[in-house]
Amino acid sequence: MRGVWLVAILLMLNPPMHAGGPAFVAGATYFDPTVKGMPLTWPQSVISYFTDQGDLSPTLLGPNADAFVASAFGMWNSVPTAAILMMQSGHLAEDVNGANFSVLSGVIAGPPDITPSATGSAVGVVYDEDGSVTDALLGTGASNSPIAQRTPRWGAWTTSMSARSFNMR
């Protein structure tokens, strides 16, 4: 009888587990109003990305940075259960940097191929060699944080850009 009570108590103390759900759902802005609240999915199985024309760092120049990104995406592409394939389809029209990128009062001003209205280069990979793009997105000094000073790595998706581009620092 003691075992039955123990099992009953354990079952009451352990609430049921639930999956986390989708990472992003459609909102009222930028989406067809009929899909508001629906999970965001990629419409095709191939995702084309476009890389920055600049360098990632003084030691990782543009072509090597492109190979670095392709290698990282290649690891995901080789997962047998992956439903998408990442493929480099070219370069952005420019080197995205502090001279042509800014955020003022929450409004992003930058090259047209990395802004939310860009449709020809839906995923842009920005190489932020000097940290100016990171500072513009996340605040002055963000590129000097201990996390940003590690070796070249993936940065965060910039949700303020409608997940169109991501930054590497």
DSSP state of 161: G
Q: Where are the domains of the chain?
A: 42-168
Distances (CA, A) of 54 to 61, 130, 136: 8, 11, 17
Per-residue tens of pLDDT for the chain, all 169 residues: 676 776 667 666 766 666 667 767 777 666 677 877 877 776 778 888 999 999 988 888 999 999 999 999 999 889 888 778 899 999 999 998 889 888 888 777 888 888 777 777 778 888 888 888 888 888 888 777 766 554 343 343 333 333 334 555 4
Query: 38 to each of 23, 28, 29, 44, how far by Cα in Å?
Result: 11, 11, 13, 17
| Concatenated DSSP letters of 103-149 | EETTEEE--GGGSTT--SSSEEEEE-SSSHHHHHHH-TTGGGSTTTT
**What pLDDT shows up at residue 30?**
63
Tell me whether residue 92 is exposed, middle or buried, using C-beta atoms within 10 angstroms of its C-beta: 0 to 12, 13 to 18, 19 or more.
Answer: buried
Side-chain-side CA neighbours of residue 119 (13 Å): 1
Residue 51: both structure tokens together? 């890389």
Distant-in-sequence, close-in-space partners of 142: CB < 8 Å, separation ≥ 6: 131, 134, 135, 148
Q: Give per-residue pLDDT as tens, 69-97.
A: 999 999 988 988 877 889 999 999 999 88
Sign of the CA dihedral running 74, 76, 80, 86: negative
Q: Collect all residues with Cβ–Cβ distance below 8 Å to 141 and sequence separation of at least 6.
A: 135
**pLDDT of amino acid 88:** 93
Other CB atoms within 10 Å distance of the CB of residue 70:
15
pTM of the model: 0.65
